[in-house]
Structure 1
Amino acid sequence: MKKGIFAPKRVLAFGAALALLWMTSSVVGAEPLTVTDLAGRSVTIDLPVKRIVCAGPGALRLVVYMNQTEKVVGVEEMEKDPTGRPYAYAHPEFKSLPTIGPGGPAYIDRGPDPEATLACKPDLLFVTYMQGQNAEKLQDKLGVPVVVLSYGPLATFDETVFDSFGLIGRIMECNDRRADALVEFFTQMKQDLFERTAAVSEHRQKVYVGGIGHKGSHGIDSTLKSYPPFEFLGVKSVVEGLKGDHIFIDREKLLEWDPDVIFIDGGGRHLIQADIEKNPHFYKHLSAFKQGRVYLTLPYNHYTTNLGTCFANAYYVGTVLYPEAFKDIDPEKKANDIYKFLLGKGAYDDMKRSFGGYGPIF
């Protein structure tokens, strides 16, 4: 009887042991994954990837969006100051991680410090804005796979970033539904913004955005020819006819254009405030300043494009230019809703404390 009672348990135990052995061997002996990164390089990666570091503008932001923060084991020094970057406000634990190098605009296409990076014992390094040949050299030096991600052109919103989400998901073996959800989230917001303004027969107001960050903070003369929040709304900036994308305009041209509405990027607000005190007569000749039609937006480009902020700004700009079409939108709540989806928690209040919130200024 005892044999009859216990034999099935031994069979079950043996089967469980075999299953465990199979699962263990399948992990240890998993076939390496070969991917093509956003620099067009073929990179072979041993799976699973449990420890990662991120270097370059916005690399860490993409990993946060993909809910992979628990695997980050080292960050650039500049990531320890969250100012201007909602993902860093939402994840204060980054401050306690080892440093892999200074980071920042001066280190674009250079990569992190090899010794500091290796001390973190990463399985993989995600980088942005690095040429393929330099990524290859860094990979050879580290002996660790280096995968190049991309946002598309610097300081824009480009759907190339969707490919980065998919690549991270494939490498990290995380749920592909997250990458799909991110793509759907951004796509639906673009469609919503378009539909709200599609019925507007003519966009008559002359608009301008100044103080745009580009490898650092700048004043009123720093702008974008193609500012995504304007593009999403079908709004044309007064600088649309100029060449280039990021532009430093001639200040006299701003007087000539005399925009009806001026938006100030929060990252350049302090420089513009100082310039107003130094050159008040210039600003007194701008209709937008005389009529109180100057509005603050959150920093759009801070260690490349703040994607969530880009869309939050678009909704805010919509409430200013087309109040009837956006009468159901509370810009601060909308910003927090966007941050919560992307980061797991709100960050608008942190941004507001650092730069001031949405509203008229000056």
Structure 2
Amino acid sequence: MPRLRAVLGRLAAYQPTEGVHAAATRTRPLSANESPHGPLPGIVEAITAAASTVNRYPDPGCGQLTRAIAETHGITEDRVVVGAGSVALLQTLLQSVGDPGTEVVYAWRSFELYPILADLAGLRSVRVPLVRDAHDLPAMADRITDATRLVLICNPNNPTGTMVAREELLKFLARTPPTCLVALDEAYYEYAREPTASSGMELVEAHPNLVVLRTFSKAYGLAGLRAGYLVGDPRVVEQLRKACLVYAVNGVAQQAAVAALGLEDQLLRRVDATVRERGRVRDTLVARGWDVPAGHANFLWLRLGDASAEFGRWCTGKDIAVRTFPGEGVRVSIGCAEDNDAFLAASAEWRRREQQGP
């Protein structure tokens, strides 16, 4: 056996929810936080046109997409880095700060790839427990040391759906040394309706050590094409671009993302529909006695503790794919109304069975 890095022997491979793709024609896909809406005609046209050029390399600098993102947010192009989904940019961030002996601070539980990417980059993870499913930013600030190179804040948090308020974030940034990078992972921000929250996009210019990550996988419905971006200080962006894998964002993805930005109003109306469904599903669950925090993304978090694995298996048996975190909870994506109704029916049946006992 050839010698590979020792860390690989300690890592658990990422495991998608069982049955999500194997029985896609019958399984209700409520585990991966995908948009339930198919691509708009304008996006399909862009994909079709771009497909005729796949014998050529894509633009390595993603110039047209970078310009479109900059115009959308009213910023200069030198503040934007494009990558193959926000997760690829997270990997770039961690690799870019990961000198020997350095640390990354993040809340736990949060996005499950944080510890894997940190280990691969050679950083020591400092996990700060959530408080009632939400980030404890004062405790996270307390854990920053001279060895801390990066703080990750998932906002809204995956998988709990909770949101950091603007004032909390400002106080945290005031306590963070300017030499420590803070990354706001806003993959689900378009679904947020919390009045006290604000995007890091509004704060980047005043905080050179802050970067914000967004994705086209969720609200824009392009999960299968892998495109995302990071916004930050031009000096930080210049260095991060050096670390990005060249040609990582294929030409089809670039053109689809440009088209999606041009159709943003239509796409965000679909997001509004998902937000309404989120409210309907949560209200129904809470009325039936479930413990479900107010979610600000396109999913809900069910606090099930030791019953999580059993409930996850129950849903699988009903051909409903959910994301199970054994011993903690279950995350259920908001899908189309039909799939949501099937989940509500399955959850109601499970609760009746639990209440009746053996």
Structure with larger Rg = 1
Higher helix share: 1
- With a CA cutoff of 8 Å and minimum separation of 6, indicate the structure with the bigger relative contact order: 2
Tell me if TM exceeds 0.5.
no
Q: TM-score range by the shorter chain?
A: 0.3 to 0.5
- Give the alignment's TM-score, normalised by structure 2: 0.32
Q: TM-score, normalised by structure 1?
A: 0.32
